[in-house]
A and B are shown apart, each in its own frame.
Chain A
Amino acid sequence: MGVIMKISEVPQDDIKTLNGVKKALYAIDDHGCYAKTTTSGWEAEEVVLNQVIGDFDEKAKETASRVRNNETSPIEYFMYKNWMDSPTLAQAMGLYRWQVKRHFKPSIFKKFDDRMLVEYATLFRISVDALKNFSRED
């Protein structure tokens, strides 16, 4: 990395997390003027994004086995799968945190009515069937 952010030194690391999307940013051209240019990403941003995604994926994997052992409900699994924690999930559902925690109990989850299932499935961007019949091989 150079001392000054020149257009010629803007990172072009083609990072996977950007999926081919280019970002606009401002950097200095040959005449010392700021100008708009694009970047295909910087390795550093990919590292930190993959880090947090990796952390959630690990939690999802661990939760999957707990779902199979009937220790928690698929709600907790799909929460991590969609990169949320329980306060975020509660907010996104418009529920209290204790309600979401309660929904992690398999016995409560099994008694869900259709409306609740639909709301969770919509938020998780999956079908109600996929939510009800948990069969993840994670």
Chain B
Amino acid sequence: MAKLKPLEHRHYAHCESGVVTALLRYHGLDLSEPMVFGITGGLTFAYIPFIKITNMPLISYRMLPGSIIKGAEKNLDVQFRTRRYREKEKALAELTTLVDSGEIVGLQTSVYWLPYFPPEMRFQFNAHNLIVYGREGEEFLISDPVFEHPVRVKADDLQNARFARGTLAPKGFICYPVRINPSIDLRKAIKKSIKRTVRMMLYAPVPFIGVKGIHYMGRQIEQLKIREDPRYVRLFLGHIVRMQEEIGTGGGGFRFIYAAFLQEAGRLMGSTRLEEASRMMTEAGDMWRQFASACAKACKSKTGDFDVGEIAQLVQKCAKQEKHVYSHLKSMKL
């Protein structure tokens, strides 16, 4: 596709929706980040007890990494060229050729190897997305959507970041759009994606996904034995909040970004009921923040004089509120 203009760096809330939003915008489909997040079906809740991350259950407030790119192909009629590599050298050679010819590309990386990240953020997290928009000698010019300004990364560091091993290993993943549809019917795509999200959140066939999953997490918290092992209880609660509030969730575990999507969708379609759903989702986000706040307080407590029952209640409140939102959306018969 034609590439005529330089990339204008913008600051986004979440890395994958940010990269997709920026790439589409560059190629002429100018949507907001919440619109991209919502329309690609980015929202979820999952509490998976048998997948462990540093000995804690996998908790996710959004769909699996890679799903926004796939969702864009499905719901926005975009086609990406994507590729993973076995050989590092080949990946670097191809990236160099692409950016030197003016292409703007998305990469999957590990934050552990990205020197511009704050040191306290450099954990083994392999699914961070960023954009490469140019090269100057040994340095690649990076537009990282969750940073305010563009940055530069040396080829060696970028190679390490692209070929980190472990869970969700990027294997040099690269992607860029090769075809977009600037006259896509957004209304149709919005309806389709909301229906899909509602179905998953209300009727997931397993007890740890969607609203059922939130209730499930509440019960797990309720059963924590604060007297027996206060240290574990604090680490467990801290783990949940980290999944909810770390860079790229936009606060409230992606609930605010989804509320922003519902509001924009409501205005686009002239639907006050969608705007009402947005307000309800904002309330859910606020409840999640109250829960996070209670957990942080518990984490700080040296004595363990907090009530896991009360904290569990806050989670159940989130579950009820979210059920409200999805039932409301369902009743709209989109």
User: Which residues on A sit within 8 Å (CB–CB) of B263?
Assistant: 33-34
Asked whether, in the complex, the Cβ of B260 is within 8 Å of the Cβ of A47, the reply is no
From B147, B246, B251, B257, residue with most partner A Cβ within 10 Å? B251
Tell me, yes or no, whether A116 is within 8 Å of chain B by CB: no
In the complex, identify which listed stretch (A65-73, A87-95, A130-138) lies at the interface while the others stay far away.
A87-95
Q: Tell me if B's interface is mostly helix, strand, loop or mixed.
A: helix
A55 vs B292: C-alpha distance when bound (angstroms): 19
In chain A, positions 27-80 with a C-beta closer than 8 Å to chain B are: 27-28, 33-34, 36, 38-39, 42-45, 47-49, 51-53, 55
In chain B, positions 253-286 with a C-beta closer than 8 Å to chain A are: 256-257, 259-260, 263-264, 278, 282-283, 285-286
Partner of A1, one of B54, B259, B289, B299: B289
Tell me, yes or no, whether A84 is within 8 Å of chain B by CB: yes
From A5, A16, A24, A85, residue with most partner B Cβ within 10 Å? A24
B11 to chain A, nearest CB (A): 4
Asked whether, in the complex, the Cβ of A92 is within 8 Å of the Cβ of B296, the reply is no
Tell me, yes or no, whether A23 is within 8 Å of chain B by CB: yes
A5 vs B238: C-alpha distance when bound (angstroms): 22
Tell me, yes or no, whether A83 is within 8 Å of chain B by CB: yes
A1 to chain B, nearest CB (A): 6
A16 to chain B, nearest CB (A): 8
Q: Tell me if A's interface is mostly helix, strand, loop or mixed.
A: mixed
* A17-B120, A33-B263 known; A23+B146 contact, CB < 8 A: yes
B17-47 vs A: 1/0 string, CB under 8 Å? 0000000000000000110000000000000
B residues at A contact (CB < 8 Å): 11-13, 33-34, 52, 54-55, 112, 118-124, 146-148, 160, 164-167, 234-235, 237-239, 241-242, 245-247, 250-252, 256-257, 259-260, 263-264, 278, 282-283, 285-286, 289-290, 292-293, 295-296, 299-300
